[in-house]
Amino acid sequence: MSDLTDQVWVSLPVPAFLLSQDDLIHDINPAAEQFLNTSAKSLKNAPVFDKLAIDAPLDGAFQRVRDDHSVLFINNVDVSGGNTAPVQCNIQMAPVNTAPGMVLLLMEPRQLADRLGRSHSVKSSARSAIGMADMLAHEIKNPLAGITGAAQLLSMNLGSEDQEMTDLIVAESRRIVALLEQVEQFGNIRPPERRAVNIHDLLDRARKVAMVGFAANMKLVEDFDPSLPPTYVDGDQMLQVFLNLLRNAAEAAGKGGGTIRLRTFYDLSLRLRRKDGSGNALPLQVEFIDDGPGLPPEISADIFEPFVSGRENGTGLGLALVSKIISEHDGWITVDSAPGRTLFRISLPVAPKSSTEDT
């Protein structure tokens, strides 16, 4: 592939498979990696129907495409990969003119097709809203501080019934300030100062903070691989990511509590490819698994977007901030959620040998 072709390949928003003469997987793009939750390297030369279950009569379809040098379209069929739930897709198969025998298989999930028309405007609106809120946050916080102080002074000379009203003013003012601080934090996060860090040290710090605070009613279980090498991150920012994910799990469980499992392991096959064609290995895996109610299905595809929240009165900025930090560390975060089990997986790089481990 040329440089331009490589860029087009990795930029395709839909899963794409390049198949060889014998219907073996020659390559897949990043969208297909995400669809199958695995890497292109691990699928190299695997029979396509061993990795994809397509609910359509496709016997000989790829060979007809090769023989007739024509494009074949199949709409509204269920496709699944591995143990994932079926997704309704529109499928296109086309011969590759410059590589005889090769077939290009494109799968357009219907939910993606339905969202493409509105996704750009939604994300642009979210970015504009964040920018505007960030600009106004400082100006709004100043008068709020004055309102809070005035309410506290008034409460000193009021009866108990009237004090309830001033207490409400103070509480709501502080809640608004907290929201504005989250918006400021999201808009002004500094570039990461990366160094070699023991990922288990960060997880242990996050666990201790959570257990004496917001997750006091939760059971935290550690399932760590002690042989993991250091990762290459900004320790403070990654700690914030871990705390946000723990807080989300604890809040989803409610007062009844539940279990959060922290798991680490090594997966050498996982590799992230960027839009410019470059890439890096992400072998260090960190998972946060809870037994809560799961994400609402209607927002699960957009859960990392700003202002998308599954909780009443949620700001929708916590997971957006998590996603932004992980992205700036050249990492990857995914979520798999169903009632009774929600799994957030973070994939991170190994620290280069030239760096010094920060313990």
- pLDDT value of residue 76: 74
Confidence at residue 122, expressed as pLDDT on a 0 to 100 scale: 38
pLDDT at res. 120: 41
What is the homologous superfamily of the domain 3-113 according to CATH? PAS domain (3.30.450.20)
Helix 160-187 with 110-155: angle, nearest 10 deg: 140
Please give the class, per CATH, of domain 195-358.
Answer: alpha beta
Instruction: Say what the pLDDT of residue 223 is.
Output: 95
Question: Quick one: pLDDT at residue 188?
Answer: 57
Residue 254: what pLDDT?
A: 81
- Rounded to a whole number, what is the largest CA-CA distance in the chain? 90
The confidence score (pLDDT) of residue 125 equals: 44
| Residue 30: predicted pLDDT | 87
| Residue 166 structure tokens | 């001033």
CA distance 117 to 126: 16
User: Any idea of the CA torsion for 290, 294, 295, 296, to the nearest 10 degrees?
Assistant: -170
| Tens of pLDDT, residue by residue, the chain (359 residues) | 556 667 778 888 888 999 998 889 999 988 888 888 788 888 888 988 888 888 777 767 888 888 878 788 777 788 887 666 778 888 888 888 888 889 999 888 765 444 444 334 334 444 545 555 555 565 666 777 788 888 888 888 777 777 778 888 888 777 777 666 666 665 556 788 899 999 999 999 999 999 988 899 999 999 999 999 999 999 988 998 999 899 989 988 888 889 999 999 998 777 666 555 556 788 999 999 999 998 887 777 777 776 666 555 555 567 888 888 888 888 888 888 889 999 999 999 999 987 754 44
Q: What confidence score (pLDDT) does residue 356 get? A: 53
Q: What is the 3-state secondary structure (H, E, C) of the chain?
A: CCHHHHHHHHHCCCCEEEECCCCEEEEECHHHHHHHCCCHHHHCCCEHHHHEEECCCCCCHHHHHHHHCCCEEEEEEEEEECCCCCEEEEEEEEECCCCCCCEEEEEEEHHHHHHHHHHHHHHHHHHHHHHHHHHHHHHHHHHHHHHHHHHHHHHCCCCHHHHHHHHHHHHHHHHHHHHHHHHHHHHCCCCCCCEEECHHHHHHHHHHHHHCCCCCCEEEEEECCCCCCCEEECHHHHHHHHHHHHHHHHHHHCCCCEEEEEEEEECCCCEEECCCCCEEECCEEEEEEECCCCCCCCCHHHCCCCCCCCCCCCCCCHHHHHHHHHHHCCCEEEEEEECCEEEEEEEECECCCCCCEEC
Pairwise CA distance, residues 122 & 45, whole Å: 39
- Supply the pLDDT for residue 359: 45
Task: Give yes or no for a contact between 329 and 194, defined as CB atoms under 8 angstroms apart.
Answer: yes
Residue 276: per-residue pLDDT: 53
Give me the residue label for tokens 């914030």. 240
Q: How many CA atoms lie within 13 A of 152 on its CB side?
A: 11
State the pLDDT at residue 119: 39
Sequence ranges of the domains in the chain: 3-113, 117-187, 195-358
